[in-house]
Amino acid sequence: MSKSSIIIIIVLIIVVVLWYLFRPERIFISKRVDEGFPETTSVETVQSESSPRLIFKGNFHGVAHETKGNASIYELPDGKRVLRFTDFETSNGPDVRVYLIAAEDADDSDTVKNAGFISLGSIKGNIGDQNYELPNDLDLSKYRAVTIWCHRFGVNFGTAPLMTVKN
């Protein structure tokens, strides 16, 4: 094998690895999600005719990327809690996740790393309305903000501080 063939193979391998790590096409491709409000269909819900109760709400602000929209936490009639994004929009990227963080707000990435967080999983889309079920044992008095986090690069895209709603 010639020296130029080896160089071409090495360059191709580097390009593929860099593409995998950075996923540059995601900068230009948005993923829209339009989930409706979660429905509960248990017998208790139908009999009690109670409606979901809004317990926390907040607005996203950009940190490393422009991020906007609303974040709300609802308690459903069956006792489950759900985080809901509405009118949501942020940048897309590789390995973007939704975190609840143990801080009032996060204007940087270090706050997220130092405060502690609970991952709710990968973001469903970078645009649109979406729902994330919360663990039953989650202490919402401790986790007071929602962050859109790029796990691959350790970057906070944007945060929504959550405020208690008076019922």
DSSP 77-136: TTS-EEEEEEEEE----TTEEEEEESSS--SSHHHHHHH-EEEEEE-S-SEEEEEEEPPT
Q: Average pLDDT, stretch 64-68?
A: 95
pLDDT in the model for residue 24 = 63
Q: Which residue has the higher pLDDT, 25 or 128?
A: 128
The string of pLDDT tens digits covering residues 88-115 is 999 988 889 999 999 999 999 999 999 9
Q: For the chain, which residues make up each domain, given as ranges?
A: 31-164
Asked whether the predicted pLDDT for residue 28 surpasses 90, the reply is: no
* Integer angstrom CA distances of residue 118 from 18, 21, 112, 135: 29, 24, 10, 9
Is 130:60 a contact under the CB 8 Å cutoff? no
Q: Which listed CATH number (3.30.160, 2.60.40, 2.40.300, 2.120.10) goes with 31-164?
A: 2.60.40
Which pLDDT band, with edges at 50, 70 and 90, does 44 fall under? very low
Q: Which residue carries 């317990």 as its tokens?
A: 55
Which pLDDT band, with edges at 50, 70 and 90, does 72 fall under? very high
pTM score, two decimals? Answer: 0.80
